[in-house]
Amino acid sequence: MINEILLFSRYKGRKKAGIGYFCSIRKTNLISMILTVLGCGDAFASGGQLNTCFHLQHNHVQVLLDCGATSLVGMRREGVLSTEIDYIILTHFHGDHFGGVPFILLDALVNKRTKPLTIISPPGGKQRIAQLTECLYPGIFQQIASTFFIIYKEFGGDIVTEHFTLIATPVIHSPDSLPHAVRLQWDNKVVSFSGDTEWTDALLPVSDKADLFICECNYFDKEGPAHISYHQLVPQLPRLNAHKIVLTHLGESMLAQKSSLQLLCLAEGMKLEIN
């Protein structure tokens, strides 16, 4: 079951232009999983939104699901510490989905992180992160690697960690970015995320009986490429049997229609309880 427990802490008591907000408060418990939206915008910051980054917390373990270039900004706003993140999961190698990793690693270094960090990504994650970090902050990657241990895991089959099982499925986006949707099973809870993709039937098993399916929907009525439109998604809804479907990665055309949509659209500061 999904409960909206505290929405838009950044904007408490006011509205942001063009985007409607609502709020529902309820007490949480330790066995719940909490998803906090640190960013849910597209690469062009449509509507002034930050790049994609979702924070999951369950049983004191913390996961970042995607890590766009503005992720550290979202973390600061919501009080999420880089030193406490246990896992980073990357769906593909576009800057609005993995460009924030160097900043988080640098922040963790400055704040004297000591515990290991696991980064799970499409193949080549270590090399791409090292190259990007070296480009942004020459010489710092080796210092980071010598200060705290980073474990790199690559998509392929079921990835079983100490805390959850992750299944990654290829989807249809810019091929060079190695795009994937992901399905995360944690205890008896399932969270699925489409990543960036056109509509594909591969999303059906990804979202099957998920407690929460986060689905990208960049366009309102435009036909691709690389992203799903709302007009494409609505006819597929009867085929999607996730318990709760929410939309992310909204472009300008979707934001303009937001008040008329039948599905919940994510926004920065939103928190969802999965129990």
Q: What would the pLDDT profile of 63-83 be if each residue is shown by its tens digit?
A: 999 999 999 999 999 999 999
Structural tokens at position 260:
């008329």
Percent of the chain whose pLDDT exceeds 90? 87
- What is the pTM assigned to this prediction? 0.91
Contacts of 13 (CB under 8 A, 6+ apart): none
pLDDT attached to residue 169: 98
**Beta partners for 159?**
166
Cβ atoms 172, 198 nearer than 8 A: yes
Structural tokens at position 8:
């838009």
What average pLDDT score do residues 174-193 get? 97
Cβ atoms 254, 230 nearer than 8 A: yes
Confidence class of residue 1 from pLDDT cuts 50, 70 and 90?
A: low
Name which of 98, 92, 154, 161 is nearest 130 in CA terms.
Answer: 98
Confidence class of residue 233 from pLDDT cuts 50, 70 and 90?
A: very high
Listed range (29-33, 82-86, 162-166, 244-248) with the worst mean pLDDT: 29-33
pLDDT attached to residue 223: 81
Can you tell me the distance from the alpha carbon of 70 to that of 251, in angstroms, rounded to the nearest whole number? 17
- Pairing, β 53-58 against β 212-216: unpaired
Burial class (CB in 10 A: 0-12, 13-18, 19+), 230: buried
Listed range (7-11, 130-134, 140-144, 234-238) with the worst mean pLDDT: 7-11
- Maximum C-alpha span of the chain: 51
DSSP SS3 for 265: strand
- Is 50 exceeded by the pLDDT of residue 154? yes
Q: Within its chain, how far is the Cα of 265 from the centroid?
A: 14
Name which of 67, 118, 58 is nearest 96 in CA terms.
Answer: 67
Strand order of the sheet with strand 165-170? 158-160, 165-170, 180-186, 189-193, 212-216, 245-248, 264-265
pLDDT attached to residue 31: 72
DSSP 219: B
Residue 74 belongs to what H/E stretch?
helix 71-78
- Is 80 exceeded by the pLDDT of residue 24? no
